[in-house]
Amino acid sequence: MKIKVNGLLALLLLLTSCAKASKDITMMVVSDTHLMSPELLKNDGKAFTDYVSRDRKMLKESPMLMEKVTENILKQHPQYLLITGDLTKDGETVSHKMLCDKYLKRIKSAGIQVFVIPGNHDVDNPHAVEFDGNVTRRVPTPKADEFAKIYNDYGYGQAIARDTSSLSYVVQLSEDVRLLCLDACEYENNSYQKNICVTAGRLKKETVSFIKEQAKDARKKGMRMLAMMHHGIVQHWTWQEKAMREYLVDKWRKHADMLSRLGIKIVFTGHFHSQDISKRGSLYDIETGSLVSYPSPYRTVTLSGNKLIIKTKHLTGTGMGISGGKSFGEYAKDYARTGIYNIVGGMLPKTIPDSIRKEACDIISDAYLAHLGGDEKMPSGKQQLINATAAKIKKYSWKYAYIFKHISKYLWTDLTPEDNNIVINL
């Protein structure tokens, strides 16, 4: 009789565990779409040329890239699409409406739920302009409440909880999984008078309280909570905090440790345009690269039991609208290289000879492109070349030689774990 009872108990436990087992959740993650409505380019000319010369984004191509990823989303048909901010070039209302009406509406109509959060470019942005030859003119850009109305069908209308101090919210993905969508942007500190759009991010005290309340509620109900936000919450390369701090949320260590304690192990992010995954404690920061930056990646994600299966795909193939005989991959790589080349070249002191400047730009461009793609590994002999170029720069500036040497090295040095294809045990 004892054996029969034990056997019955085992069967009941098995049936109970099967009843509670969740079905797989399928998602696609896209970031930094930076959609620019063609209406904003009234007449091509110096104004737009000057803008893109200081930028690394394929803005003219953004509608084509958004169309291509929309087609892929519809073919693969995940349950959910997550877009982790910087939806538009610079928060132009016309670009937001184009994103919703031309792309997200089709995705939603196919039965795929879409959830968005704002990036630093998307709300109340003084850089929202149209280009007309040599002239730029400001165009409408939404305030925070207007942003939520525009994206009512893409997260805000489905929220089971809203933060009153930011555009953060929570949605229910399944019976036992919730998604915490966090707004860490500082659009209230943008300045029209000084023409400043704040790149950096922070979590307000009220938002931190909201996070704790929602995590506590999820835990109480036995639910797993995933999160997404625009800014990074874990450093993605050594020295990122020193060199490009505005790409990490303020007090990132403190906030990362808080999320870990609250049982949140996954945060989908964007902002830096790189395909990279970094880890602090039990928290994974899964950064997805930009559609409008090389190599135009997106992620497919499956939550299956206690495993998160992540795969990387890229926008490639026919119909990409690139002239001149180049493949889209070649075009995107050259575009990114030119953008970083101009940025680095402009930062180095004018006293540095052009030959050394070119050498430095070539090295950093290679390192930057490797980091954009993820799973970067420094080639043999590259460190010696970095050291030799740094020595040449040092004759003109010790400071810039030091910065150049470390940034070049660290962009080539991938932090664990893998960036593109990985299975995370939760």
pLDDT tens per residue, range 274-322:
999 999 999 999 999 999 999 999 999 999 999 999 999 999 876 676 7
Interacting residues of 354 by C-beta distance below 8 A, sequence separation 6+: none
In tens, the pLDDT along 215-266 reads 999 999 999 999 999 999 999 999 999 999 999 999 999 999 999 999 999 9
- Mean pLDDT calculated for residue range 10-18: 42
Say if residue 378 is exposed, middle or buried (CB neighbours under 10 Å; 0-12, 13-18, 19+): middle
> In this model, does residue 1 exceed pLDDT 80?
no
Average pLDDT value for the chain: 93
pTM over 0.85: yes
How many helices and strands in the chain, by DSSP H and E? 13, 16
Backbone angles phi, psi at 217, to 5 degrees: -65, -40
Task: Name the percent of the chain in helix, strand, coil, to the closest 5.
Answer: 40, 20, 35
- Return d(Cα 29, Cα 374) in angstroms, integer: 16
> In this model, does residue 172 exceed pLDDT 60?
yes
- Return d(Cα 250, Cα 146) in angstroms, integer: 26
> In this model, does residue 206 exceed pLDDT 60?
yes
> In this model, does residue 2 exceed pLDDT 50?
no
Query: What pLDDT is recorded for position 12?
Result: 43
> In this model, does residue 90 exceed pLDDT 60?
yes
Of 13-17, 77-81, 109-113, give the lowest mean pLDDT range: 13-17
Say if residue 140 is exposed, middle or buried (CB neighbours under 10 Å; 0-12, 13-18, 19+): exposed
| pLDDT > 90 in the chain, percent | 88
- Mean pLDDT calculated for residue range 327-346: 89
> In this model, does residue 9 exceed pLDDT 60?
no
Contact 345, 357 (CB under 8 A): yes
Assigned token pair, 4: 């029969």
In tens, the pLDDT along 110-154 reads 999 999 999 999 999 999 999 999 999 999 999 999 999 999 999
Look at residues 341, 339, 237, 333 and name the one whose alpha carbon lies nearest to residue 285: 237
Query: What pLDDT is recorded for position 343?
Result: 85
